Structures are given as C-alpha cells and as structure tokens.
Structure 1
Amino acid sequence: MRVSISYRSAPPVPSPNIRRLQEAFGIGLCERVVKLCDADIDLPEKGVVFIGGPSGCGKSSILRFLMRNLKGVVDLNATRLPEKPLIDALDIGFGEALALFGMVGLGEAFVLLRRYGELSDGQRYRAQLAAALARQPAVLVADEFCSTLDRLTARVVAFNLRRLVWRRNCLAICAAAQHDFLHDLQPDLTILFERGNWVVRRHDPKPAPVSFAERITVREGTKRDWDYFARWHYRSHSLGIVDRIFVMELEGEPVGIVVYGHPMGACALRNKATGGRYAGRPVSAKRALLDKELRVVQRIVVEPRFRGLGLAARLLRETVPRLGVRFVECITVMGGFSGFLQKAGFVCVGRVSAPRIGR
C-alpha cells in the first residue's frame, strides 16, 4: 500500500492576525504542499504494526489514512462500554465474556460487578480492549497506545494485546510517541520516524515471556502475606487449615500468592481422579493418608496490574513440586474459563455446583 500524506500550508482566507504574523516574520503566504509521509507499506494480514515517533511527526495522520483504506476497522479509543456491570456490558455470552475479561486482566469477580465509570484508568483501558475485541475486528487501531498508563502497566497491556492478536488472527495497528513497551508488543512491522524520514522494518517475532519475567521470584510466605492479597479474592475471609504459602515478587513488590491447605471431607471427583484411593478406608486411616499425600489450592491471586501474563500458571508450576505430595487438588471458578490450571499441568476431572452463599 502506498501511503502518501500531505497538507497545504497556506490558509484559504488570510485573517488579520495571519497578515500580522506574515509581516512580523517576513514570510509569504504562497501555498506550499508539505509531505508528511510518502512510503510503500506492505501491511501483514494479521499481527501487530507499530507507528512511532515524536509528537507532530504525522503518526496520527498515517493511522487515519490506514483507517480510511482498510476494512473491518475498530478504533480502540472510540470504544466505550455502557454503564452496566462489566459482565453485562459486552454483547456476547457469559463464558466468552468471562474468558475475554480474564485475558485482558479483569478476571476478578468484584471488578466484573463494577461499571465502566467506576474503574481506574488502567482498568478502563483494559475494558475498552476487551470490548473492541468482542466486536471481532479484522483491524484494531489504537492511537496514543498506552500513553495514559504507567510504564509497567503499559508493558503488561502491550504483552496482552500481542497474545490476543495471535489468538484471534487479527491485525492491530498502534501508534505512540513512547515505545518502551516494544519488547512486549513484539510488532511484526514497525514504521518509525528517524532523522526526518519514515523507516519501515519487518520483524519475525517469537512467543516470549513478558520483559520483566526474569526479575520475578518466588519465596516462602506466611498468613500475613495473605492480608495484602485478600482484597482481590471473592473469598477473602479466613483461610482455614494452611499448609504452605508462596509469594511471587518483582524486585520485592508483591505480584501473586498461592495458599495450599489440607483437604476437608469427602469429594466424589477426588475419588474419580485418584481411582478411589481414599474410599472405603476407616476415617482415621483415610485422614492420615490424605494429610500425607494430598494438598488443596485454597487461594491463588495475582495482583491486578500483572494479570494476563500467565503468572498464575507459573506460580503453580514452580511451587507444586515443593510440596512433596502425590496429589494437588483445586476447585476453581476462573480456572474453568481461563485455562491457567491446565497450563500449570492440572487435569480437569469434572465440575461441581457452587454453593449458594451471600456476603
């Protein structure tokens, strides 16, 4: 596609102020054609295109040109959600909505009950991304991409967009003056304004973890660590019988937590998964064997800014082997929609109905 953008420098009707400006600076008003861009840009059918450069260089003009000449375009910045609870704000099914909000880092029960106007700037941006993708665009465009977000959140959103584009086989075109998130965005094509010229480069991105993944560590934790994360869990009350707790951190900053405990009572699906290993035993013998061989994931929480990065699965992969038990069991709601448990090596053996409790 040939992208040729220019503008005419002279106003059609000079005003008195324009004439004063002309006289003050000794400039004429002869019309000139000023070119902002004149380049061949071969856009990929799917993937990510990034347009970067300082303010005023013509990024938005290129983006508008592309929007006029492409089909199936959805503008992220023009996407708004109705003032309904998020879970009702997308015109798609419940399961699909829950999965999509989870992919953009909004898979938290209490957040999904809030309205768009009640969200933080970072949450609104993620909600807009979910709403735009729910429309199944062929092309998603985002001017001033992540410009209103803190730089850590910008990297997370860029990483999530890249993953969503791969999964949905669409094209995303982003423009921004800052591009410290390029490692996470992994564009297939960059159009950068360098030394007065637009430079087009093609890339071959490969799936990779988020840019700060190597700086994330996991340590043994205590019940006191749960106090920080409890606000983000729909069952924030007492943990019950705890065996071990592990905390994930980014250079000392809390990122996630997993709480393992001992199993309570009988479970038909447990018998199915273990081949009836614990069935038919005397109560005391059964209890002793369960305590020796089996642990339960009581809670797993990732701090909202870091969601969508696969950190819950990583936290489980790194900590389950440290338990030294034969089985680890987890009854989950979000895990049934996001798939993070399967990514951590768990196997789904069935479904149970949630108890009707109120808070």
Structure 2
Amino acid sequence: MALNSSPAARAVTLEVRHRRENGPLSARARHLREVFGVETAEETVALQPVTVTPRGITLITGFSGTGKSSLLRELCRRTDVRTVADLPPIGPTDRVVDLFDSDVEETVSWLGRFGLGEPRLMMSRPEHLSDGQYHRLTLARLAHGGPGLIAVDEFCSNLDRTTAKVIAHNFQRACRFLDLDAVVATAHEDLDDFLCPDDHIRLDFDGTVGRTTGTRVPGERIEHWIGEEFTERAGDRADYETLAGYHYRAEDERWIDWENLVTEVRTVRVRGLLVAVKVFCRPFPREFEALPTLRRINESVLCQERVIVHPAFRGLSLNARMWPGTEPGTAPRQRILFAQSALGRLFPFHLRAGYRRVGHPSETPAQEQLDLADVLRRHDPGINPNSTKAITALLRSAPDDVLSEIRATAAAAFDLATRRQIVFLADLAGADVRQEDLAFVSRASADAARTADPESLAVMVETATPYRMAGFVREWAPEHGWRVAAHGSDDHTGTLAAAHR
C-alpha cells in the first residue's frame, strides 16, 4: 500500500457518472416533464475525466454538489486507499491514548504532532472531544497506518476557519515528514496556503475541472500568517491566569512565586485574542543570592517555568517564540535558558524551539525521595504523590504521629532534591559549588519542614517526591539572540517515524 515507494505513483483517470433508474414517474413528476419538456436520464456524466496522481497532497475543492465526494468514492474504488471507514471501531471503554497500537511514549509523541499532546485530553473518551479535537484525532488515526494513500472527505469542513487552517498546516507537515500521500476534499477555498497541496483540483457545477500545481513552500504561509495577524508582546500574571486552565496540571498548580521568582511574561495574540503565554523565572529567590553559588546560578541561568498554548493553536511551534528580553532595554543578563517538563519526556516539543535535551536529576530519584513516596502510600494507598491537592488532604487529616513521620521524611527528601538541583544548575552555569552553601540550604530545608503548615509542607512534599521530568537547555547566540533559526526543527520526530519502520 506504500504507493510512494515506487519511483512514480500511478496516475488514475477518473470519470464520475450518476446512474438512475428509469422507473415510472409520479403524477407530479409527469407534470414537470410537460412543463419543462425534459426527460429523466438513466446515466449522466457528472464530471469531465479527471486524472489524479496520488503523490504528495491533492486538494479537491468546489461548491457542495459539484462531485467532490463522488470523485473520492471513485478514487477509493480504483486504488488502494485508507479512509475513515477503514478505522477500527472505538470500544466502549477506549480512551484517546488506547486508539493506537504503538507504546505510550510513541503515542503521546504522535498525538502531539496533531495538536493533541495534552495529558487530560489523551486520557479522555473520544466522544468527549470537541469537533476540532475529534477531527484532529481522526486524521492522526488515519496517518498512523504508515506510508500509503489516505483520503479524507469534508476535510475541516465543519470547523471554524482558524482551527481549520491550523489543522491543515499540521496535517501537511505530518504527511510530508512521514511520506504519506493524501487526497482531501472540502467546499472551502481558504486552505490552499496552509495545506500547500501538490495538486489542487477545482470542480464546478457544469462538470468542468480546473487545476493548479502547487508552488508554495510548506510552512511559508504559516509564517506569514503568524507575522501578519499574530502579535508578540510582554504580558503579566493576568495573561497567565487567562490561559492557566489549559495547562495539564491546571487543577493542581505547582506553586509559582510571582513576587520573588518571576522575571518576565511573554505572550502571543491573534487579532487581540490571547493564544499563548510563557513565564520566565530566576532559579532562586533574590534573598538566596547571599549564597555565592546561588547568586552565580541566578546570574547565568533563566528558567522557562511555563508555556501554555490555547488548544486551537497547538502545533504552530509558538513555543519557538516569546523569548525574554525582546522589549527595548530589557535584555536579560542570563545567557542560558533552562526548561523542565514531564510532558517533554514523551513529547519533546522544546526541541522544535531550539533547545537541546540534557539529563535531569529527577530521572534518577534518590532513595530518600522513593522513601517519601512509600510513606505517603502507606498512609493512603491510592494517593497521587505528585498532587499537592491530594497531599494537602492527607496532611490535614493525618494524626500527629503520621504527620511527624511525613514531616521528617519530607525534610530529608526535600533537602536532597534541592541540593541535587543546585549542583545540576551550577553545572549548567559553569559555577563552582560551595559546600558551605549546600550546608546552609540543608539547615534551611530542615527548618522549613519542621515549621511548615500543611499547605506549605504539601508543596515541599510534592517537590521532593519522584516526578520524572526531561531537561532542556538553550544558549544565547550573538548572531540571533534567543530567536530560533527557521522557527525550530523537527528533531523530535524520530520517535514518530519509528512506529512506521
């Protein structure tokens, strides 16, 4: 079925005919025959012969009723092609992540390419998705069958046009990376610039067929579109809170110290609508800069703490924008950007923003951290040890002896996790680690754990329990600062192709 594995895909000439039964006419139909002087036809040729070479992406457009669906049906009859009808049925208990036969890591990476790489969404029932999300899912399932030819009728037809353009762009990018051929049909004429078809066939009511050969560079229009209608500028906490609900841990937010840590907020808007936000932080509060090691880290490293993109605009590499210090007079002194992400372990979207992956301390949790998770589970077997909400509930209800045990175990784990993070960040900064500074941090950690109220202790516990994340680093470049050449790369897509080899 890999049509493009041969030097040239076979051209197919299609002719659409409508066949009708020449049965008896009703009284009203006979009246119309007399009024207009016409007879019914047993067979009519609806379209001029159309030659389709199923290589690359073919777009078929035209008004409703011009024969787009008929042309696709004839193509499916004449060639080996995958359609929605070929997809396996969705089971009564299936979640989105269950609809793919690859392992979880590959599935997450695959769904991310189609703008569906959000944990709660992947855990959802398919029927709970929005129309746009379900359309993305259908395309992801079709494309997951490997190289070959796929056909999609009513492509993005029932979606708002902004969502349709984003999906068209992501779809063509996936097809071209994966050597997929696709023939798609829609009544809308606004997707040409975003789908960048190799062949665009236009149908009209009189059966005539027009066509143009693609000359657009994939991705070129999306850049123009973003540059034309998207505005990047400084933001604030209110902007973050506007989109915070779209983050996968929105209901269990890891604490962000807006007073002592946040240095800058960047945003992207389209026609005034906030569509993306990115929050930057210093690694440690300013009062800790009295410690030479932490001061050197703060002087050299800036952390990308959060990036949130509106669901309708995912897949446009907006993470490759919104860099710190881009306003006049706001250039940061730091020359190293660090980001950490649990989602990044499975879908390393930071790579498309010019980051490189580095080992992260959380990937090899220490025994003290494992012990803390064990203590939590012993007192609440069903607890999520990475949920501050669940931990707070346990701490509030725990008797004094249990609270004391958790407090002591958390103090040791938090101390070790903090010291490991300091050593890790100092290595990124090229700074020496002073043992006196680590000793001070240990004392401060013990004091904090001993006196913390349940809410504050829960944050310490959640920080110290094993929560594996991937680490990513970017260095400032004199020639273009933080900006990404060509707005990122597809380096992460090796996992996507692996499922099809």
TM-score by structure 1 length?
A: 0.86
Conserved in 1, the CA contact under 8 Å of 2:54 and 2:182?
no
The aligned counterpart of 1:276 is none
Two-structure CA RMSD over aligned residues (Å): 2.7
3-state SS of the aligned residue for 1:56? coil
Structure 2: gaps spanning 5 or more residues: 1-11, 370-384, 390-501
1:153-202 deviations in whole A, cap 9, x for unaligned?
A: 11111111110111110111111111212110110001112573112322
Given the superposition, is the C-alpha separation of residues 22 and 85 from structure 1 closer, same or farther in structure 2, using an over 3 Å criterion? Answer: same
3-state SS of the aligned residue for 1:153? helix
Compare the two structures and name the one with the higher helix fraction: 2
Given the superposition, is the C-alpha separation of residues 317 and 127 from structure 1 closer, same or farther in structure 2, using an over 3 Å criterion? Answer: farther
Distance 2:209 2:312 in 1: 34
Distance 2:18 2:156 in 1: 28
Give the CA deviation at 1:113: 1.6
Give the CA deviation at 1:57: 1.1
Conserved in 2, the CA contact under 8 Å of 1:76 and 1:140?
no
Distance 1:2 1:59 in 2: 15
Q: Does 1:160 align with 2:184?
A: no
Aligned length: 341
Compare the two structures and name the one with the higher strand fraction: 1
What are the within-5 Å matches in structure 2 for residues 33-48 of structure 1? 33-45=43-55, 47-48=56-57
| Counterpart amino acid of residue 325 in structure 1 | Q
Judge which range, 282-291 or 318-327, deviates more.
318-327
1:261-291 deviations in whole A, cap 9, x for unaligned?
A: 12159xxxxxxxxxxxxxxxx9700121122
Judge which range, 209-218 or 106-115, deviates more.
209-218
The aligned counterpart of 1:239 is 256
Distance 1:25 1:318 in 2: 76
Which residue among 283, 287, 297 is the counterpart of 2:294?
Answer: 287
The aligned counterpart of 1:272 is none
The aligned counterpart of 2:226 is 213
What are the within-5 Å matches in structure 2 for residues 252-331 of structure 1? 252-264=272-284, 284-316=291-323, 322-331=331-340
The alignment-based identity, stated in percent, is 26
Judge which range, 232-241 or 57-66, deviates more.
232-241
Distance 2:40 2:205 in 1: 27
The aligned counterpart of 2:111 is 101
Q: Which has the larger radius of gyration?
A: 2
Distance 1:116 1:99 in 2: 18
The aligned counterpart of 1:51 is 60
Distance 1:174 1:300 in 2: 33
Structure 1: gaps spanning 5 or more residues: 266-281
Which residue among 77, 92, 115 is the counterpart of 1:68?
Answer: 77
Distance 1:26 1:253 in 2: 54
Which residue among 123, 145, 148 is the counterpart of 2:133?
Answer: 123
1:110-136 deviations in whole A, cap 9, x for unaligned?
A: 211211111111111111111222222
TM-score by structure 2 length?
A: 0.63
Distance 1:79 1:137 in 2: 18
| Counterpart amino acid of residue 251 in structure 1 | R
Distance 1:49 1:111 in 2: 30
Given the superposition, is the C-alpha separation of residues 291 and 28 from structure 1 closer, same or farther in structure 2, using an over 3 Å criterion? Answer: closer
Conserved in 1, the CA contact under 8 Å of 2:307 and 2:319?
yes
Conserved in 1, the CA contact under 8 Å of 2:281 and 2:305?
yes
The aligned counterpart of 2:382 is none
